[in-house]
């Protein structure tokens, strides 16, 4: 790695440059260079968070206020754990905020995740049969918040990647319907691309309010945004059936 000196005033260009190593693709080199120079990556290391995504959930919660002291939160696809770290602080799961309720954070992921102080972390495929009941058992009841920063593996095809993440988000929403308390909140990452219509319609049938936000910490060249559905009303199919009886 090198640091390039600028001309003119003797100032230095502090941007880290990464040389393309033998056997490494140019795209990998560019990604590494972007990571090393990303202010949120640098800030996350300084603040002790496991990734820049921690600031996304902070900004979402600052706007919508769903991570309240005492809340029970499920983080789907929680690796590497940045969202859990933020949630631990905000729902007071360590009891550090005196005279406030203590919340519960439960993270699940396909891969093993390094322990997170204040959070329960389990290796689990949330798509497996019975996963919802298992999560409620671990949680000791239903959740107030189900959140997901999951993304399917990138294929390089924007349209395919969009469809994959929307499908993953739909599965996460179905899981949320099974584990959320009435009045609960669902937060998930999606990609802009035109296939969100069905997901949007489903969420609107099941929640009082559905909004979208692209956090300031989300990269400007990324098509990601987040859906925040608040005021869970219960599965609309069940409500409809009850009304017809």
Active site residues: 189
In terms of Cβ atoms closer than 10 Å to its own Cβ (0-12, 13-18, 19+), residue 2 is exposed
In whole angstroms, give the CA distance from residue 190 to residue 198.
13
The CA R_g of the chain, rounded to the nearest whole Å, is 20
- The Cα 21–Cα 239 span in angstroms is 59
Partners of 109 in beta bridges: 123
* Letter string b/e over residues 155-182, b meaning 16 or more CB atoms within 10 A of that residue's CB: eeeeeebbbbbbebbbebbebbbebbee
| Binding site per annotation, positions for S-adenosyl-L-methionine | 81, 83, 109, 125, 149
Give the span between the Cα atoms of 4 and 2, in whole angstroms.
Answer: 6
Distance separating alpha carbons of residues 99 and 135, to the nearest angstrom: 28
SS3 216: coil
User: Residues marked as binding?
Assistant: 81, 83, 109, 125, 149
């Amino acid at each position: 790695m090198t640091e390039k000196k600028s001309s003119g005033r003797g100032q230095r260009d502090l941007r880290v440059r990464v040389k393309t190593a033998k056997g490494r693709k140019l795209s990998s080199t560019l990604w590494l260079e972007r990571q090393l120079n990303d202010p949120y990556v640098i800030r996350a290391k300084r603040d002790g968070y496991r990734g820049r995504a921690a600031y996304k959930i902070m900004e979402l919660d600052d706007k919508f206020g769903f991570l309240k002291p005492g809340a029970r939160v499920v983080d789907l696809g929680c690796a590497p754990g940045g969202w859990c770290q933020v949630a631990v602080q905000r729902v007071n799961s360590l009891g550090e905020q005196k005279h406030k309720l203590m919340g519960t954070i439960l993270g699940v992921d396909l891969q093993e995740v390094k322990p997170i102080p204040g959070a329960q972390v389990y290796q689990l495929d949330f798509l497996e049969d019975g996963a919802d009941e298992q999560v409620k058992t671990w949680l000791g009841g239903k959740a107030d918040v189900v959140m997901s920063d999951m993304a399917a593996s990138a294929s390089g095809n924007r349209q395919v990647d969009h469809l994959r993440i929307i499908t993953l988000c739909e599965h996460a929403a179905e899981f949320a319907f099974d584990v959320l308390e009435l009045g609960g909140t669902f937060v998930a990452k999606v990609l802009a691309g035109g296939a969100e219509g069905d997901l949007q319609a489903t969420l609107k049938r099941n929640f009082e309010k559905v909004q979208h936000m692209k956090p300031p910490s989300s990269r400007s060249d990324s098509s990601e945004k987040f859906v925040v559905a608040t005021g869970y009303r219960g599965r609309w199919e069940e409500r409809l059936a009850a009304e017809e009886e």
